[in-house]
Structure 1
Amino acid sequence: MVRVAFSGHPAYREARYRYDALGRRTAKTLTRHDGREEETEFLWCGRVAFSGHPAYQEASYRYDALGRRTAKTLTRHDGREEETGFLWCGLRLYGERNGDATESGTLYIYNEGGHEPVARAERQKGGYRLYWYRTALNGLPESLHDKAGRAVWRGRCDEWGALKQESYTGEGEKLRQNLRFAGQYFDHETGLHYTTFRYYDPENGHFTQPDPIGLAGGLNQYAYAPNALTWIDPLGLASTNNPGVYDVHGEAHLPSDMYRMSDGKHFQEANRQLYYQMKNDPQFKATLEGKYPGIFEKVSPGKRGAFPRKAPTGIGWETTWHHHERVAGLLQLVDGPDHN
């Protein structure tokens, strides 16, 4: 059990967390100043049970084969249910709709290839109404504006993404702004941020599950990023503070079923693709050999047919495979010294 004591918290004096043998958070208990407790139980079968929650007794979640959340259902104390469905484009949240509504819904528009929201379109009878985001460096929405430039929503979060204050004006009162750090969606029922492959707790700045690749991802398996003001982790798999501006000399695209595998597996697949690209394109091979002498041999399969699991390196040169932070599954061959 992990215990956290608060000093100066407006509502709670203590929080306690329990974890299972796999390192996943199974329960959170909040103790108010008057001694009352609120407990949230995470069952890791797509269901969350509440004890002492002011509005809900249970929440259930559904996911597709890629791990993307497709729906959530909230059950109130009187038995009424509230369902939200989610739409996806690749590994980016494309939209959401409430219940069986066909005349309403929200679509999200992002910057090219990234997870930073640019606008949202609210479906209404006869068409859509656009609203525009103003975001911080890390993709966190700070305000939402209508076509006339008026702010219909403003939010203020702390350094780790916990919402401290928000305000709605005019038509913004009909909207619910749940986007947080790049790639994150706020669940008001649990206070957690859904981040595609893991859940993030903004109150302590950590994920609720360990890194899927274990210690290969670092000693702190729950860490979000060294600095949440300038770093992002839109999928819950790897943080980065680099906008992806490198001299790119080759690219490889991973199949979706490899996303959760180790870097060694990723590099092996990238080397395999680069090998065949060079083999089938003599001009491309000559260009790379001119910059990195011997690179074709470095990515060639061994005697047993297996491709190397490390990025190619030779005398006087070094490369690495960079995981693009905005395009899922894209690996880019870049100079090792340039890579952070």
Structure 2
Amino acid sequence: MAGHLAEMHEGDQVTRFRRDSFGRLLKRTTERPGMSPVKTSFAYDALGRRTYKHVEQQGQPSELTVFTWDGDLLQSEERFQGNMQTSRAFALPELEPEDPERRFSLPRAQRQQMLTEMPGIIPQRRVVYLFEPDSFIPAAKLEACYEAVAQATGTQAYGFTLYQLAQPALYYFQTDHLGTPLEVTDSDGQLAWVGHYRAWGKLEKANDGNNRQASTENPFRFQGQYHDPETGLHYNRHRYYDPEIGRFTTQDPIGLLGGENLYQYAPNPTGWVDPLGLKKCPCNVKFKRWKAGDAIDKPMPDGSDPSWDTVRSRYWKNRAATSSDEFSVDNMRRMRSGKAPLDFNPRTGNFESRELHHVMPQRAGGSNSPLNLRELTPDQHGAVDAFRHTVPTTGGIL
């Protein structure tokens, strides 16, 4: 396909890339004189998410990594080793429809346990990842190795080893302002991995903080990127990123909607991110949406200030989260959806929405902080502020 990296020469090493019609990397083959080729294959599901990575080299056991996703976030990975191509039962996972008869059915591409029952294939470890809410910033991981526990005979009369996961170890990611992991600490707070990067995200070196080998791995780089040591590239959800040159290896799938330069990652690597490999965003965008308990005047995901309607809705959601005994069931339901509770007005004989009064009016520069807000009935609000429904304009008050 035109415009995509197809071959690369580094000294006497030649690397070839094969892609599908969508430009997704299917196979990478590296050849060097005197050595057997290293072949790395990839597969994707119907949503374009990478489901496995398979590494082969003659004379070496094959390695397979199976990926499980939660939307656009990597939920977990599981690694296997063994002679997969000669296994009588081995077939790389394929996407199959979910089984409606099974409550917890998953596509076959995400049923890693199927591989643990195949002869000659040894499960290595499983890692489950946790991210900060509504973001691509890694927060923690649970890592566990497999242990052999018994021998068994399969339905085709071949023997295999049963494995189970050992007690998982908990690790925490410490990131910079971009969401790039700088350190990984264990559950005791001890450094397990410390990384040093070049400007465009290439890992220069990693250790345990004391110039010894790191005791755990960190595959994450810039926000949304997963490092493949076999290729040196970073899988960036919709594309692959090359940290050596600070550019993507394929054109932007959304074309000019992502910018005029179809291969550009960002104008500079210290102020921008591209978690999906589609369109750059300034790093002040945290990709975190508001949730109950957050400040009601918290900026929107794009960094802009929330509107008064949004602030007001957040206010009542926060009240619902902390005032379960103060309001009726119907009013609690309204507040959880961002609507004000209803109060009965004996003067009119109607139920009316409670209002929020700014002690210092917005038209006078008053903030939307809870400290500047008071809950009042419409009659009470009108008594203290006759201009409560007016807005400032360049010509005065409307």
Q: What TM-score results when the alignment is normalised by the length of structure 2?
A: 0.53
Aligned partner of residue 168 in structure 2, secondary structure: strand
Tell me, yes or no, if the aligned pair for 2:79 and 2:124 is still in contact at 8 Å: no
CA RMSD of aligned residues (A): 2.5
Determine the C-alpha separation between the residues in 2 that align with 1:232 and 1:70: 24
C-alpha spacing 1:55/1:129, structure 2 compared with 1 (3 Å): farther
Q: Counterpart of 1:104 in 2: which secondary structure?
A: strand
Which residue of the other structure, out of 304, 309, 315, is the alignment partner of 1:246? 304
Residues 112 and 75 of structure 1, relative CA distance in 2, 3 Å threshold = same
Alignment of 1:54-203 (within 5 A): 57-78=38-59, 80-99=61-80, 100=115, 104-124=125-145, 125-168=165-208, 173=214, 175-203=216-244
1:203–1:113 CA distance, 2 compared to 1 (3 A): same
SS class of match (1:216): helix
Give, in angstroms, the shift of residue 169 of structure 1: 7.1
CA distance in 2, matches of 1:98, 1:55: 23
1:186 and 1:55, CA in 2 relative to 1: closer, same or farther beyond 3 A? farther
Cα displacement (A) at 1:95: 1.0
Partner of 1:40: 15
How far apart are 1:213 and its partner, in Å?
2.2
Offset from partner CA, 1:267-292 (integer Å, 9 cap, x none): xxxxxxxxxxxxxxxxxxxxxxxxxx
The whole-number CA distance in structure 1 between the counterparts of 2:195 and 2:75 is 22
How far, CA to CA, are the matches of 1:203 and 1:55 in structure 2? 25
Which residue, 278, 285, 293 being the options, matches 1:237?
278
Give the C-alpha shift of residue 28 in structure 1.
Answer: 1.2
Corresponding residue pairs, total:
227
**C-alpha offsets along residues 184-203 of structure 1, whole Å, 9 cap, x if unaligned?**
00011110000010000000
Q: Does the aligned pair in 1 maintain the 2:27–2:40 contact within 8 Å?
A: yes
Tell me, yes or no, if the aligned pair for 1:63 and 1:69 is still in contact at 8 Å: yes
Q: Which amino acid aligns with 2:263?
A: Y
Residue 281 of structure 2 aligns to a residue whose secondary structure is coil
Question: 1:56 touches 1:189 (CA, 8 Å); kept in 2?
Answer: no
Residue-by-residue CA offset, 1:16-37 (whole Å, 9 max, x unaligned): xxxx42x111111112xxxxx1
Cα distance in 2 for partners of 1:129, 1:172 equals 18
Cα shift at 1:215 = 2.7
Larger radius of gyration: 2
The residue identity in structure 2 corresponding to 1:43 is: R
Structure number with higher relative contact order (C-alpha < 8 Å, ≥ 6 residues apart)? 1
Residue by residue, what CA displacement relative to the aligned partner does 1:51-71 show, whole Å, maximum 9, x if unpaired? 129785201001000000010
Give me the whole-angstrom Cα distance separating, in 2, the residues matched to 1:183 and 1:55: 33
In structure 1, the partner of 2:10 is: 30
Task: Give the structure-1-normalised TM-score.
Answer: 0.62
Where do 5+ consecutive residues of structure 1 fail to align?
Answer: 1-19, 32-36, 252-315, 317-340
Letter of the 1:150 counterpart: Q
- Give me the whole-angstrom Cα distance separating, in 2, the residues matched to 1:169 and 1:223: 33
Structure 2 residue runs of 5 or longer lacking an equivalent are 21-25, 81-114, 117-122, 146-164, 286-300, 311-392, 394-398
Which residue matches 1:226? 267
